[in-house]
Structure 1
Amino acid sequence: MSELAVVTGASGGIGEQIAAGLARTGATVVLVARDRARLDRARDRIRGAVPGADLETEPVDLADLAEVRALADRLGERGPSIVVSNAAVIAPLDDRTPDGLHRSLATNHLAPYLLLRRLAEYPAAKPRRFVVVGASPRALTRVPVDLDDLNLEAGRGLGWPPSFRPFVAYARTKNMNAMFVYALASRLAGTGTTVNGVHPGIIKGGHLNRHDRGALKVFGAVCGMFARGTATGADTPVWLATAEEIEGVTGRFFVRRRAVETAPHTTASERVERLWRESARLTGLPATSESAP
C-alpha cells in the first residue's frame, strides 16, 4: 500500500509542486484548498506531469475551523504518514471569518495548529512527518508575534504605510508557524512523528499576494523580480517529507536543506507555550491532550 500524503494550499504555486513531488514518490496525495475548480485543474496538471499519479482532492476553506476539524477527522481515520501544511494568505486587516478571526491568523496558523494536533491524536501505524511551510527566519526577526493581540483586535505595531500592514500581520503568522513547530515537536518527541519547519524562498506563481494594494503591491512586484520558480521552492519541503537522511530529525527549521536558527523571540519557551495555550483557546482545543499520539 502506498503512503498517504496531504498537502494544503495545493491548488497552485508551490503547493501544487510539492504535491507533484510527493506523487513522483508513488504516494497517494490528497490536495487540499478552498476552490474546487482550481483544485481540479491542479490535479489535472499534476497528472499530466506525473503519469499515473494517485491524487485526491479535498475542497476545504482552511479559514473555517469547523471545516478543518471535519477534514482532520476524515484524514485521521486513514492515517496519513506525510502532511505538508503550506496554505497561506495575506488578508486585509478587516477580513474576518464568521468566527471573528482575522483570515491570515485562521488560515496561516490556526488551521495547521488544529489540523496537525488533531491528526497527531490518531494512532500511527508507521512514522509520520509533519512539515510546516514558513518564511525567512532572517526577514522575520523584526516582527515578533504580539501575544496580547493575536487576532489583531488592537492592531498595534503594524507600522506604516497602512497598505503594508497586512504583510506585517502575515509575517507574524509565519513566526507563529515556527513557534508551533517547536511546541508540537517537543510534545511528540519519541512518538515516531517528526515536525519540522521550512522556508521555501520567495516564490513566483502563487496567489499569496492577490489582495495586495498600494505600497505592498509595489513591494510584491519588486520581490517577484528576484523570486525563484515553484519547483525550486518545493525542493526542501519534499526533501523533508521523504528523504531517508532526515529520518528522526524533529523540531528544526530548514532553508535550502540546511537547518537554521530562528529568532530568539520564536524559541523563548515562555512565549512558545503562551502561543500554544492561546491557539488552543481560539481553536476550542484543550491546552493539553489526554490522547497519546
Structure 2
Amino acid sequence: MSNPVAVITGASGGIGEQIAVGLADAGATVIMVARSLERLSWASERVAHSVPGASIEIDPVDFADLAEVRALAQRLIPRQPSVVVSNAAVIAPLDDRTPAGLHRTLAVNHLAPYLLLRLLAANLPAAARRFIVVGASPRALARVPVDLDDLNTETRRGLGWPPSFRPFVAYARTKNMNTMFVYAMAQRLAGTATTINGAHPGIIKGTGLGRHDRGALKLFGSTLNLFTPASEAGAQTPLWLATDPAVEGVTGSFFVDRTATSTASHTTDPVRIEALWRESARLVGMPVGGDRDEAPDADHQG
C-alpha cells in the first residue's frame, strides 16, 4: 500500500469493523465511516485494542443523506485513499423514506456508494487505488433482477409473499445494483490506476442487517444466525481484494471465496447496466457521462 489510507463504510461493527482490523494490521491509516458516532467510537476502540498502535480515524456519516455523502467525498479527496471498501447496508421497511423521498435501502445500499465512488473517481491519483463493493450471493440474487422502472420501490411490484419478506427482496435488488455498478464503473475507469471489484462476504451473523425485520423474516433470520459464521469470516474476501498483490490491476470482477465468479445475466446485460447508471445519475444529481474531471450538479441538494 504505497499511500496507506483506507476507508471503510459501515464500519461500526460486523464485517466492516473486521475489515478495519485487517487494514490497520496491514499498516494503513484507517478511516472508519458509519452513521452513529457512538457506535463508531466503540468500534474504533475495539480495533485499536486488536491492533496496538493502529492509526484510526472515525467519520460519522448518514448514508441515507446524499448531502452528507458529498461532504464525505470532499473530505476524502485530498487524502487520496488507496483503498475504499463500500460495506454500509441496511434492510429498511418499505415505508422508511428519506426526506428526499428515497427508500432508505436504495439510498444507503446503492445510491450512496454510487455517489461516493463516482466523486472519488473524478479525481484520479497516479498511484494504484482499489475500490471494493461488498455485495451478496450471486446465486441467491439471480432470482431478484432489478426493476429498472421502479428503483425506488414505489409500486412494490414483484416483491412477493409474505409481506414481511418484501423489505429483504428490495434489499436483494440493491445488492444486484451494486454488482451492476461495479461492472459499469470498471468500464469507465479502464486504463487508469483505479480498480473496482465486488465481493460476497458470505452469510454472516452479527451484521445488524436484520434489526428492522418483522414476522416470518425475523424468524428466518434468527434461525439462520444459528448456523452462520461470525463477521471475521465475512471480512476475508473484501480484505484480500484490498491488500493482496495477486489482485493488483484486476478490475470489473465479482469474487466469492477469493474466486472470480459469474453473476446473473440480468446483471451483465450492457443495456440494463447503462439504464441503471443513467437512472442512478439522475437520482443523485450527477451527469451521466464519464467520471474523469466530473463534478456534481451545483444546484442539486441531495
Which ranges in structure 1 are unaligned for 5 or more consecutive residues? none
Q: Given the alignment of the two structures, is residue 23 of structure 1 paired with residue 24 of structure 2, yes or no?
A: yes
Q: Any idea what the Cα deviations from partners look like across 1:117-164, whole Å, max 9, x if unmatched?
A: 000011314111000000000001110000000001111100011111
Contact kept? 1:79, 1:125, Cα under 8 Å: no
For residues 112 and 224 of structure 2, the distance between their equivalents in structure 1, rounded to whole angstroms, comes to 27
1:178 paired with 2:179, answer yes
Contact 1:27 1:54 (8 Å CA) reproduced: yes
SS at match of 2:260: strand
2:83 is matched with 82
* Alpha-carbon distance between aligned partners in 1 of 2:48 and 2:211, rounded to the nearest angstrom: 26
Structure 2 match to 1:13: 14
Contact 2:106 2:151 in 1 (8 A): yes
Long gaps (5+) in structure 2: 295-302
State the 1:290 CA deviation: 6.2
What CA deviation, in whole Å up to 9, does each residue of 1:244-291 have, x standing for no partner? 000000000000000000000000000000000000000000001463
Structure 2 residue 206 is the aligned partner of structure 1 residue 205: yes
Give the equivalent residue in structure 1 for 2:60. Answer: 59
Residue pair 1:77, 1:122 contacting (<8 A) in 2 also: no
Tell me if 1:267 matches 2:253.
no
Tell me whether 1:138 sits opposite 2:139 in the alignment.
yes
| Letter of the 2:178 counterpart | N
TM-score, scaled relative to structure 1: 0.98
| TM-score (normalizing by structure 2) | 0.95
Q: Equivalents in 1 of 2:290, 2:264: separation in Å?
A: 28
Q: What SS does structure 2 have at the residue aligned with 1:148?
A: coil
Matched residue type, 1:178: T
What displacement does 1:197 show? Answer: 0.1
CA–CA distance in 2 between the matches of 1:292 and 1:265?
Answer: 30
Counterpart mapping for 1:1-293 below 5 A: 3-289=4-290, 291-292=292-293
After superposition, the Cα gap between the structure-2 partners of 1:52 and 1:279, relative to the gap in structure 1 and judged at 3 Å, is same
Residue 95 of structure 2 aligns to a residue whose secondary structure is coil
Q: CA deviation at 1:2?
A: 5.2
What do residues 206-248 of structure 1 show as CA deviations (whole Å, max 9, x unaligned)? 2111000001101111221221111111011000001000000
Cα offsets for 1:72-123 (capped at 9, x unmatched): 0110121011000000000000000011000000000000000000000113
Within 1, Cα distance between the matches of 2:124 and 2:139? Answer: 36
Matched letter for residue 169 of structure 1: A
Inter-partner Cα distance in structure 2 for 1:290 and 1:118: 8
User: Which digits, 9 at most, give the CA deviation of each residue in 1:3-23, with x for residues without a partner?
Assistant: 100000000000000011000
Report how far residue 205 of structure 1 moved.
Answer: 1.3
Q: Distance in 2 between matches of 1:210 and 1:161?
A: 18
Please state whether the residue corresponding to 2:228 is helix, strand or coil: coil
- Percent of pairs identical after alignment? 68
Aligned length: 293
In structure 2, distance between residues paired with 1:272 and 1:281 = 14
